[in-house]
């Protein structure tokens, strides 16, 4: 990892020769696509488009890849490996960006993201496939935190809800095109082409985003101040949380008495690391920043853990093709963007707490409704309708937590606080995927790999229900957490 770190001499030279990035201001009329921000906005939205297309395309191809590699019992691990390694990368990226600007972690992250896709696409065994997903996670963790720092530095508080809404809107086209393209490629050329083909898309974001980022958000937040050293303690805690999450995921998939040992070791690593990396009071939903960060984890973890099993459920239980299974979730991209757009309207600012509560109710309802298609008489389109409702809620919740985080963070701490938000997001994904994967495997879910994925197999519906219903309960708990995000001052 030392090869990724800029030397002190390099940073000092850069700080001496490069002016501090401009303070985020706007004329009151200039929007995110106005003259001031146009190039930057287009560039970073292209980066989000890449991430979105990867997520939607890979999710469609995953059931076929898992079956061909004889790893359906490790299906959840293929998703959580990404989040496990991204936990470490998020902390590194936050410190790296606060220290020398977001440009370097962003470039390194996009490169690692592409290399991970190539490794997964050429894997001959499930564990190699999972290793590729882990490399992707390193890249994704670097990229997402760096993007938050860019937004914090280059956009005023007035424009931040709009750029967050644009990020959500950039998922609409991939959510429709991604499953269709991925399913078609998977069925006619093979799932590997889905993975090895996506890295070509790296070229456009790099060419478009980097010059604008260098101009508007490059360098440290204050070039007149000494360059801060890396906080080695936080980096060690980040490594501990990643290792602990990996051990817990392994224990959840193994389901033997011996798995208690790695499970206990994982818990022993995670608990102190979480207490050290997240703001004090996060675990008890203290008002303000701690609850914002906790709510992000509750929302993202419950939704992603459930969504990861939707294509597999539709393919194995209702006999849909990979293309149709992926398309069943396509409309969710549009409603996610709609939810994010709603939160970006100025008139919604005084009602953000109620918006968060309503969003979490929609998420809980959607997750609870999805497994109804395990009943043969329930039409398959119910999943698509439910997921459209859930994505509407997620669009409002995810964008709102991002806006609140940046509102509560001074510029010099944007990287660290953004990393904490993403750690809550990623760790919740890992833990809830581990729990869901363990329940899925314990109830015979891994046996679906013995069947043809194009034929319906109704022998393990309980395995899927054991994933969705607990996640709905977690999402419902998020409604209470949403009541805690408002900071109470002077008893008001």
- Number of DSSP helices (H) and strands (E) in the chain, helices first: 19, 0
Distance CA 146, CA 419 (A): 9
pLDDT per residue as tens digits for the range 72-127? 767 767 777 887 888 889 888 888 888 778 888 988 998 899 899 999 999 988 88
| 331-to-62, 288, 475 alpha-carbon distances in Å | 20, 33, 21
DSSP for 45-83 reads: HHHHHHHHHHHHHHHHHHHHHHHHTT-GGGHHHHHHHHH
Instruction: List, in order, residues 6 or more apart from 402 with CB less than 8 Å away.
Output: 148, 160, 164, 421
Q: Could you say which DSSP state residue 397 is in?
A: H
pLDDT the model gives residue 220: 61
In whole angstroms, give the CA distance from residue 171 to residue 339.
12
CA 259 and chain centroid, separation: 27
pLDDT (0 to 100) of residue 445: 65
Q: Out of 18-32, 288-302, 427-441, pick the least confident.
A: 18-32
Q: Are 262 and 250 a contacting pair, CB within 8 Å?
A: yes
Dihedral sign from CA coordinates of 56, 58, 63, 64: positive
**Eight-class DSSP state of 28:** S
Q: 124-163 pLDDT, tens per residue?
A: 888 899 999 999 989 988 998 888 888 888 888 888 888 8
Answer with the residue of higher pLDDT: 100 or 290: 290
pLDDT of 287 over the 80 cut: yes
Q: Give the integer Cα–Cα distance in Å for 30 and 11.
A: 33
Say how far apart CA 238 and CA 96 lie, in whole Å: 14
Half-sphere exposure of 371 (CA within 13 A, CB side): 20
Q: CA–CA separation, 321 vs 289, rounded Å?
A: 43
- In this predicted structure, what is the pLDDT of residue 446? 54
Lowest mean pLDDT among 9-18, 144-153, 419-428: 9-18
């Amino acid at each position: 990892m030392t090869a990724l770190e800029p030397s002190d001499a390099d940073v000092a030279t850069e700080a001496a020769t490069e002016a501090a990035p401009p303070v985020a201001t706007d004329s009151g009329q200039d929007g995110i696509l106005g003259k001031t921000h146009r190039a930057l906005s287009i560039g970073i939205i292209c980066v989000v488009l890449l991430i979105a297309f990867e997520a939607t395309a890979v999710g469609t191809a995953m059931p076929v890849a898992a079956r061909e590699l004889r790893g359906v019992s490790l299906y959840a691990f293929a998703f959580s490996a990404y989040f496990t390694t991204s936990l470490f990368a998020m902390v590194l990226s936050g410190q790296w960006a606060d220290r020398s600007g977001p440009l370097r972690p962003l470039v390194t992250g996009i490169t690692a993201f592409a290399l991970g896709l190539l490794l997964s696409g050429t894997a001959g065994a499930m564990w190699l496939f999972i290793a590729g997903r882990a490399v992707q996670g390193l890249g994704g963790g670097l990229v997402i935190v760096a993007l938050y720092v860019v937004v914090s530095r280059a956009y005023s508080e007035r424009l931040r809800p709009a750029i967050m809404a644009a990020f959500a809107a950039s998922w609409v086209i991939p959510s429709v095109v991604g499953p269709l393209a991925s399913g078609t490629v998977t069925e006619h050329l093979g799932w590997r082409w889905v993975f090895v083909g996506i890295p070509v898309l790296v070229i456009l974001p790099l060419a478009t985003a980097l010059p604008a980022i260098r101009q508007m958000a490059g360098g440290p937040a204050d070039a007149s101040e000494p360059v801060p050293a890396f906080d080695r303690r936080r980096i060690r805690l980040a490594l501990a949380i990643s290792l602990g999450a990996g051990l817990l995921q392994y224990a959840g998939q193994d389901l033997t008495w011996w798995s208690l040992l790695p499970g206990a070791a994982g818990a022993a690593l995670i608990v102190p690391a979480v207490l050290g990396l997240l703001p004090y009071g996060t675990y008890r939903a203290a008002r303000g920043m701690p609850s914002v960060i906790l709510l992000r984890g509750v929302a993202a973890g419950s939704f992603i853990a459930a969504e990861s099993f939707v294509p597999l459920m539709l393919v194995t239980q209702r006999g849909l093709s990979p293309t149709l299974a992926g398309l069943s979730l396509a409309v969710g991209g549009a409603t996610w963007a709609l939810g994010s757009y709603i939160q970006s309207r100025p008139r919604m600012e005084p009602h953000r707490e109620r918006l968060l509560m309503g969003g979490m109710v929609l998420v809980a309802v959607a997750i609870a409704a999805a497994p109804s298609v395990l009943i043969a008489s329930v039409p398959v389109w119910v999943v698509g309708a439910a997921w459209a409702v859930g994505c509407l809620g997620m669009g409002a919740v995810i964008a709102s937590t991002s806006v609140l985080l940046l509102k509560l963070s001074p510029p010099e701490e944007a990287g660290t606080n953004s990393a904490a938000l993403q750690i809550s997001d990623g760790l919740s994904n890992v833990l809830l995927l581990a729990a869901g994967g363990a329940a899925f495997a314990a109830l015979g879910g891994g046996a679906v790999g013995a069947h043809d994925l194009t034929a319906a197999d109704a022998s393990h519906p309980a395995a899927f229900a054991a994933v969705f219903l607990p996640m709905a309960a977690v999402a419902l708990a998020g409604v209470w957490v949403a009541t805690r995000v408002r900071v109470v001052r002077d008893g008001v």
